[in-house]
Amino acid sequence: MTPAIFGLSGLQLTADERAFFRDCDPAGYILFGRNVESRDQLCALTDELRAIQGRDRLFICIDQEGGRVARMKPPQWLAFPPGEVFDRLYDLAPASAIEAARSNAQALGMDLAEVGITVDCHPSLDVRQPGAHDVIGDRALGSEPMRVAALGKAILQGLIRAGVAGCIKHMPGHGRAMADSHKALPVVDASEEELEIDLAPFRALADTPVGMTAHIRYRAWDDENAGTLSPFVVGEIIRKRIGFDGLLLTDDLDMEALTGTVPERAARALAAGCDIALNCWAKMDDMVGIASALPAMGEVAARRLDRALNATEGGQNGTDQATLLAKRDALLALVGQPA
């Protein structure tokens, strides 16, 4: 198995994609708006991916947070609110905010499970900092670490109830970034003591089966490399200080925060200690290069992948989506929050 997650170019697989995926056997796939049209189309696409790999339990992920980060959109699918909504409710009613976040995530997860998606790249556990770039912004669950952890845990619980694994991101923290890592490499000058604030939510939820790195240079830890490519950040900060032993994905390797060819980035990320290279944009030359540059998945990463997929098998089907949304909306209405 190739330790990579690849994107797809369109609504259906091309002949070249079908042959390449069958040959290289990637760990999984990531879907975007370009891959999403209708329930029937999306079910057919995820069914074909499973058939190609010969695995019913397959890592198929998507970025479906709610708010501005949503690949499955109305009118085919429901709109869900951003994290900031639950942060505001938490100001006045913490228990209500936690329950609203859990119900919302379960309802969202039901949309994903219905079409064969097994992993949501959500929640963001980045602690919001004043004056930082808005790339996180209203996606954040708050500016107080334990609030972020409490709401993040509720989201993970809701997703699991729907049979979908969550992925905590962006380790070891994106909340201080003064640039958008899609466009440039953010550099964080905070001290080790200040960065403890950023680590706290990830440490609290370190037993989550899936996590994602941040393409950020943290001067206090490694003044030369982005976190994704830093053996110190991955090994000492994410694995040891945070205590995360789950499946560690890179953020998208196509992002302009990183330099070098995409296959070179993938090889450096795995050499730094990441388990999976995430390559989103379905450029065949890059995917072929990644498959050639990476070794076969090792036993430790394979166990982590298996543990992540185990988490998708416990979905509870006893509650319908309308009931969950009604509960969420009633809780948000307590303080006049829109859904």
**Which pair of structure tokens corresponds to residue 121?**
């790249």
d(CA 128, CA 133): 10
The answer to whether residues 77 and 131 touch, using CB atoms and an 8 Å cutoff, is: no
Q: Which of these, 98, 139, 156, 140, lies nearest to 308 by C-alpha position?
A: 156
d(CA 242, CA 236): 9
Catalytically annotated residue among 16, 47, 182, 207: 182
Active-site residue 182, yes or no?
Answer: yes
Torsions phi, psi for 247 (to 5 deg): -75, 120
Q: What is the DSSP letter of 124?
A: B
DSSP-derived pairing of the beta strands 187-188 and 217-218? parallel
Going by C-beta distance under 8 Å and a sequence separation of 6 or more, which residues neighbour residue 80? Answer: 64, 65, 66, 67, 70, 104, 107, 108
d(CA 229, CA 46): 31
d(CA 204, CA 153): 9
Going by C-beta distance under 8 Å and a sequence separation of 6 or more, which residues neighbour residue 82? Answer: 65, 66, 67, 68, 69, 138, 139
d(CA 10, CA 15): 12
Beta strands in 18-87 (DSSP E): 26-31, 59-62, 64-66, 69-70
- Residues assigned a catalytic role: 182, 251
